[in-house]
Copies of this chain bind each other. A is one copy, B any other.
Amino acid sequence: MSPSRPRGRPRLFDKDEALTTIQRIFWKNGYSATSLDQISAETKINRPSLYATFGSKKDIYIKCLEHFAEMMGKRTEAAILSETEISRGLEKVFMQAMEIYRPKAKSDGGPMGCFVTCTAPSEAGADEEIKEVLKMVLDRIDQTMRETVEAAIKDRKIQPKQTAEITGHLLGCLLNGLSLRARSGTSRDELERTAKAGIEQILA
């Protein structure tokens, strides 16, 4: 069972690499304001090839949303596991999110804020499918926060006033609020100060 190459002509591009490039375009311009011609030009993949590989414009966008969520999810889990002290882990989660939302280096015109929460809501009002993807991503964020909080409570590291569920929602809201402010141009420094103070306040 060697990984023999598939039958026909091989692709000239890497699927995952292309998806990352497309994601960046949607991230900066939003879904509706991005054209397939633009994607085709920047990836140098012809539109028929895009179709054959990823499907319709909406299919591509949703694949990008899931691709981004998966990347963030893995990084978040890794950050939490890397610290023994839970509140340190949460702080690390927020700090690396800020690095993605508002990169310090290369302050060129790259995309800012969270890809999902900055572009999907605009479409979610009229598109049920995108609305559901958005809900799934938000629920996943809150759930991860909640589980982290629950673990910390079990280890007697913290004793929050609110339930773990509510505390998870509050941490999620804080992250979303920071993403929005990153998109609007708030400085990295202010984002980080607000994040640290917010975590401290919410876990108290």
* Chain B nearest CB, measured from A137 CB (Å): 8
A6 within 8 A of B: no
Q: Are B177 and A194 in contact (CB under 8 A)?
A: no
Would you call A185 and B131 a contact (CB within 8 A)? yes
Note all chain B residues with C-beta closer than 8 A to A161. 200-201, 204
A125–B30 CB distance below 8 A: yes
How distant is A163 from chain B, measured CB to nearest CB, in Å? Answer: 8
For chain A, give the interface size range.
Answer: 35 or more
Known: A125-B111, A174-B173. A193 touches B166 (CB 8 A): yes
| Residues of the B chain whose Cβ atoms lie less than 8 Å from the Cβ of A138 | 180-181, 184, 186
The binding surface of chain A is classed by DSSP as helix
List of B residues within 8 angstroms of A174 by Cβ: 170, 173-174, 177
Q: Name which residue of chain B comes closest to A142, CB basis.
A: B181
Chain B residues within 8 Å of A184, by CB: 121, 124, 131, 134-135, 138
Interface positions of A (Cβ within 8 A of B): 27-33, 111-113, 117-119, 121-126, 131, 134-135, 138, 161-162, 166, 169-170, 172-178, 180-181, 183-186, 190, 193-194, 197-198, 200-202, 204
